Amino acid sequence: QVQLQESGGGSVQAGGSLRVSCAVSEYPTESYCLGWFRQTPGGQREGVADIDSDDSTTYADSVKGRFTISQDNAKNTLYLQMNRLKPEDTAMYYCAADWSGYCPGGPGPRQSDFGDWGQGTQVTVSS
């Protein structure tokens, strides 16, 4: 079973930057979609960004222009660079994988498309 492990979360002041990472244990298919989601306590899980094996990306409107998703296949690692952070970006951030093919198209990923999930990493933005 594929394992995903997030890291890099933490606390930052509004306007600051943070990068979270997701280590992927293996890639069972050549075509895939990787995504970042976030969830606040009591809230729904929200798709943030996705990237597929062709490096095509989509973003939720709430983060477009501030967040950048990328991947380093040599390191089996997915990244989310978050700039100009806002207090409303505070959430648990999860990475997820869909091995059935390319990302279907955004904006941002849909939770129902993903079968493998990490445990999450907390990002807190203070005002």
Question: pLDDT tens digits for 25-62?
Answer: 999 999 999 999 999 999 999 999 999 999 999 999 99
pLDDT at 68: 98
| Mean confidence (pLDDT) of the chain | 96
Q: What is the mean pLDDT of residues 74-95?
A: 98
3 falls in which pLDDT band (50, 70, 90)? very high
Q: How far apart are CA 46 and CA 102, in angstroms?
A: 20
Higher pLDDT residue, 1 or 19?
19
Which residues have a Cβ under 8 Å from the Cβ of 22 and sit 6 or more positions away?
Answer: 4, 5, 6, 7, 34, 36, 77, 78, 79, 80, 95, 118
pLDDT at 105: 86
